[in-house]
Amino acid sequence: MSTAQTLRRRTRRFGAAVLCAVLPFLAAACPVDGAAAVSGGRGLSAVIRYTEYGIPHIVARDFAGLGFGSGWAQARDSVCDLADAFLTVRGERSRWFGPEPAPDPQGSFATSNLASDLYFRGVRDAGTVERLRATPAPAGPSRAVAESVRGWAAGYNAWIARNRVTDPACAGADWVRPVTDVDVSALDYSLAVLLGEGRGIDGITAAEPPAPGTTPAADGPGPARVLPPARPASGEPAHESPAGRSARPGSNAVAFHGSTTGNGHGLLLGNPHFPWHGAHRFWQSQQTVPGELDVMGASLLGAVTVSIGHNAHVAWSHTVATGVPMNLYELTLDPADPTVYLVDGRPERMTRRDVTVSVKDGAPVSRTQWWTRYGPVLTTLDTTGPLPWTGTTAYALTDPNAANLRGSDTALALSRARSTDEVLSGLNRTQGLPWANTVAADAAGHTLFTQSQVLPRITDDLARRCSTPLGAATYPATGLAVLDGSRSHCALGTDPDALQPGVFGPGALPTLRDTPYVENSNDSAWLTNADHPLTGYERVFGSVGTPLSLRTRGALHDVSALAARGRLGVADLQHHQFADRSFAGDLAADGLRGACATPVRGADGEGGETEADIAEACRVLARWDRTTNTDSRGAPLFDRFWRRLTTATTPDDLWRVPFSPTDPLHTPRDLAAAPSALRSALGHAVAELRAAGLSADARWSEAQFVVRDGTRIPLPGGASELGLWNVIDALWNPEAGGYSDVESGTSYLQAVGWDGTGCPVAKTLLAYSQSSDSTSPHHADQTSLFSAGRWVTSRFCEEDILASPALRVVPVAERD
């Protein structure tokens, strides 16, 4: 038996009590003689042990202390992003930055600070978060979460009180201020409503009743003009996910059953695609309360729990689900008063919320919001188009996650789980995920997929009985229901196993267990495993028998082949993550060969490119390895060609063989575009590369990169539309030489397995690095690893932490 195995067995045998006894620096965080340790009047305290890449391992004797350590450590790494997020949920952005600028579009659907402030100030004035915090568990937060929140606020406040902010993003800024427990909980709330009320912020804050005497004919475009969101030309089902144009989280995850692995234990690869900037960045840590909790993973900034991670027994990840976490009600108004609506013929008056927001260099701005039994009245909803408030009709939004502050308890339940069975029971018990699927594997070899979302209880039968003409179009196409608000029997029902009224209970959720693999890349639950389709769920959860994204198709091809090959290990997960194979490149290869074999004389594009340019582009793509590895020549050319082609061509016209629900992994296929159209798209791609100073045979490293501390770091991966697992969503900027800044994409990676020793075999990577502070030594170190396809070995077990050559022990306490 190896020394490591011996130490691990001793760790398991003697447990947390012995560790506390033999490691003096943990004394402040450990029980003494079965009672809480005396802190010497220092208040809340924790011990933070930093290992390589600035990863903190936080130990405390209770959840309040654990929250304190987390708040302190998060402030140290990302105080500016956090302070900015707190301005948002307090409704104070306009006060400091002015009303016109927009919040970070990767974290908010609001198109101006003023709209954001009016919404969140209204939430604060209504006492919504305070009311949810006071709701008894399990419908409301548990004591453990409440204590963690209290501790987190204290830890954040202690750090900003004792440290000088060096990050240029907010150094010396007056808006970096202490926070309260309610502020911390409000961050959780903002995440819960992100894809519900969050999508309607502009429409909620701009809604005004029509002037008295206005006639319906004069009210502007009617409901017939409101169309469901269109599927983009690339064929990517972007609106299968409710995420839309601004806040665009996504993800991949796959779990392999023990029957496919080399040792009978499970495997999990998590690859969430989240913003690289702002409040929705991930932050990595280990959280330990001896005898209560020991988990490693990543949290969204401001979260008190680990969002995605692993412990000694189980690993899990989340992907953005296709379930639509909201619905609309079409209101029939009293002709004499547009702020009165009718239900079963009886009038109900809307509730006014008068909200005032402070504005930089200007007078305060006041607006009125209008609320109904169904939720707020709104006049726009992200990309759905106008929802006009006329003299006879208005629309109200129902978001059940506006009553859900259980997300942290769900994360805590997963962190404590010892098996996929306990993962599922924890999800069912807490019911706190607003818009995510869960994929999990455990040491015993089990796998789990479940779409455990808080969704409005809209059955297909209810939609048939109660949809308005608008809803008859939107519900089948997108899962967004628009119901008749004038009939009380069109209200949302409640399942007996649901924690709150108006939502589905766990018994209705699509779930798949113990198949050779479970995989999700933001398509519906339908083909979580291609050999075991999930069907029978309501349309609001997602579609069945509809085209898959190229990313999902490529992923299912790859993971099913891996499962069939068998004898898998963590190294196979690592290789899959950085294979960077473009499924679109595979599908387009034959069509390009045909187009390149067809001579066309003269200029083919608008950039003045010649037949020689097209011929050279054809030669480059013939040699391209169909990946977006950093050294891949031809990847920039194919990327710009594919974007041009799919923008100019509808899905129906793009493919010769149409989609077939009986062969979803292999259809649609075979490019149908004429050779002249393909060559024209190639010509445009050549011109775009030339404008960015790139040759047709440029390497991907020349076209996609970030600059950190003056150093250019090339990045692998690319757009989801290319059919890539390793998604990098970046803006094309010819003046900067290509894709010079990443908006979102691969963030916290984990490849986790087990070897029977008691310690998980885990590799992790935080693609954009731990700290958003440009002066931190951990602002770019993991980004360089990501560039090279390298990983960090997870130091989860005690002996591994203590063996770190970078180990630095930092005791922190509320009072010096």
Query: Between β-strands 808-813 and 436-442, what pairing exists: parallel, antiparallel or unpaired?
Result: unpaired
376, β-bridge pairs: 371
Residue with tokens 């059940």: 400
* Nearest partner of 394 among 515, 547, 130, 216, judged by Cα: 216
Task: Give the CB-side neighbour count of residue 162, counting CA atoms within 13 A.
Answer: 15
* Nearest partner of 407 among 295, 292, 297, 308, judged by Cα: 308
Rg of the chain in Å (alpha carbons): 27
CB 445 within 8 A of CB 515: no
Question: Given 70, 78, 246, 251, which residue is catalytic?
Answer: 251
Residues 358, 381: Cα–Cα separation, whole Å: 25
Q: Please give the helix or strand (H or E) that residue 396 lies within, else none.
A: strand 393-398
**Checking phi first, is residue 774 left (phi over 0); if not, alpha (psi -120 to 50) or beta?**
alpha
Three-state SS for 56-87 is EEEECCCHHHHHHHHHHHHHHHHHHHHHHHHH
Residues 71, 67: Cα–Cα separation, whole Å: 6
Neighbours of 741 (CB within 10 A): 13
User: Residue 704 contacts by C-beta under 8 Å, 6 or more apart in sequence?
Assistant: 628, 636, 714, 715, 717, 718, 728, 730, 738, 739
Residues 597, 112: Cα–Cα separation, whole Å: 51
Q: Is residue 260 classed as helix, strand or coil in its secondary structure?
A: helix
Residue 66 corresponds to which tokens in the numbers above?
A: 């654990």
The yes-or-no answer on residue 776 being catalytic is no
Q: Which amino acid is at 289?
A: V
Neighbours of 82 (CB within 10 A): 27
* Nearest partner of 399 among 206, 243, 186, 199, judged by Cα: 199
User: Residue 177 contacts by C-beta under 8 Å, 6 or more apart in sequence?
Assistant: 83, 86, 160
Residues 608, 604: Cα–Cα separation, whole Å: 8
Task: Give the CB-side neighbour count of residue 578, counting CA atoms within 13 A.
Answer: 21
Q: Is residue 410 classed as helix, strand or coil in its secondary structure?
A: helix
Query: Between β-strands 282-289 and 293-300, what pairing exists: parallel, antiparallel or unpaired?
Result: antiparallel
Residue 569, Cα to own-chain centre: how many angstroms?
27
Q: Is residue 138 classed as helix, strand or coil in its secondary structure?
A: coil
Residues 87, 99: Cα–Cα separation, whole Å: 13
Q: Is residue 152 classed as helix, strand or coil in its secondary structure?
A: helix
User: Residue 415 contacts by C-beta under 8 Å, 6 or more apart in sequence?
Assistant: 287, 293, 295, 297, 305, 306, 309, 311
Residues 753, 449: Cα–Cα separation, whole Å: 17
- Direct distance between the N- and C-terminal alpha carbons of the chain, in angstroms, rounded to an integer: 45
Number of H-type helices and E-type strands within the chain: 22, 30
Residue 154 corresponds to which tokens in the numbers above?
A: 């204290």
Active site residues: 251
